[in-house]
Amino acid sequence: MAYTISLAGKAALVTGASSGLGVRFATLLAEAGAAVALCARRTDRLKDVEDRIVEAGGRAVSIGMDVTDVASIRSGVAAAEAALGPIGILINNSGVSGEQRLTDVDEATFDRTFDTNVRGAFFVAQTVAVSMIRTGTAGRIVNVASIAGLKPFGRIGVYSMSKAAVVMMTRSMAIEWARHGINVNAICPGYVETEINAHHWATEAGQKLVQMLPRRRIGRPEDLDAVVMMMVSDGAHFVNGAIVAADDGMVAG
């Protein structure tokens, strides 16, 4: 039996929507019928994404948002609701990464990573959840974590710590907000090729890493589609607090 997920009539908000996985998530939701608020600091790039969605017959609006600034988060969510109505879906995707030995990490790097990946993710989710509770919306929140939050990897220790915090944050939110009809889950992607990291996979070091993976391949953004669509669907009302690794078996190895 075919099973099609329709998001028609729903409003969604995607952070980090100017590049990488954020673009894919926003496009995916729009293709399923959701009206999408595209949020990021780089509004010029957001407009390109918005134009592509609209040209394909979808509905989208670009909103400047800096997730390290709580006032910017709150004004951005308010702007999204003014344009699209109550937010029913949040893809909490903004994040930064970096490669550095723990002995070399300075305060600025540590603070930047946690301000974006943890503090920013928390206050985006909190702001949207408060709105969902106020409007009585049975919402879906998907926090984008990482397999690095489930398993330590060399030279990305601070990033791993931040994503481990997102995993625990997801579980805490799921328990506390369940009574309001809000489901909170997290997707933990493995290595996925995007425009940001594509150059790395063509290098000798990148190819060496690929050969160490269980199936000797890296993912594509669309490989995450099924998990994300399940998490935001009405049919996933019994899926709450789930931490799903979409990594082609890396964590299992």
Check pLDDT > 80 for residue 2. no
Residues known to be catalytic = 159
CATH number at residue 115: 3.40.50.720
Distance between CA 178 and CA 157 in Å, rounded?
Answer: 32
Region 51-58 average pLDDT: 98
Residues with Cβ < 8 Å from 94, sequence gap 6 or more?
A: 15, 16, 22, 40, 67, 116, 117, 120, 121, 124
In a domain, 2, yes or no: no
Query: Where does the chain have alpha helices with state H?
Result: 20-31, 43-55, 70-84, 107-114, 121-135, 157-177, 198-201, 204-210, 225-232
Examine residue 5 and state whether it is found in any structural domain, yes or no. Answer: no
Q: Are 228 and 25 in contact (CB under 8 A)?
A: yes
Q: How many CA atoms lie within 13 A of 192 on its CB side?
A: 22
Q: Identify whether 46 is part of a domain.
A: yes
Contact assessment for residue 180 and residue 132, using Cβ atoms and an 8 Å cutoff = yes
User: What is the value of pTM for the model shown?
Assistant: 0.97
Other CB atoms within a 10 A radius of the CB of residue 100 amount to: 16
Span 85-98, pLDDT tens digits: 999 999 999 999 99
pLDDT tens-place string over residues 205-216: 899 999 999 999
Q: What is the pLDDT of residue 1?
A: 43
pLDDT reported for residue 252: 86
pLDDT tens across 63-81, in order?
Answer: 999 999 999 999 999 999 9
Position 152 in a domain = yes
Provide the domain count of the chain: 1
- Which SS3 state, helix, strand or coil, does residue 27 take? helix
Decide: 148 and 160 in contact? Cβ < 8 Å.
yes
- Evaluate whether residue 56 is within a structural domain: yes
* Ramachandran angles phi, psi of 142, nearest 5°: -120, 115
Q: Evaluate whether residue 93 is within a structural domain.
A: yes
Range of the domain at 33: 11-246
pLDDT of residue 3: 67
Counting every residue written for the chain, the total comes to: 253
Q: How far is Cα of residue 8 from the mean position of the Cα atoms in its chain? A: 21
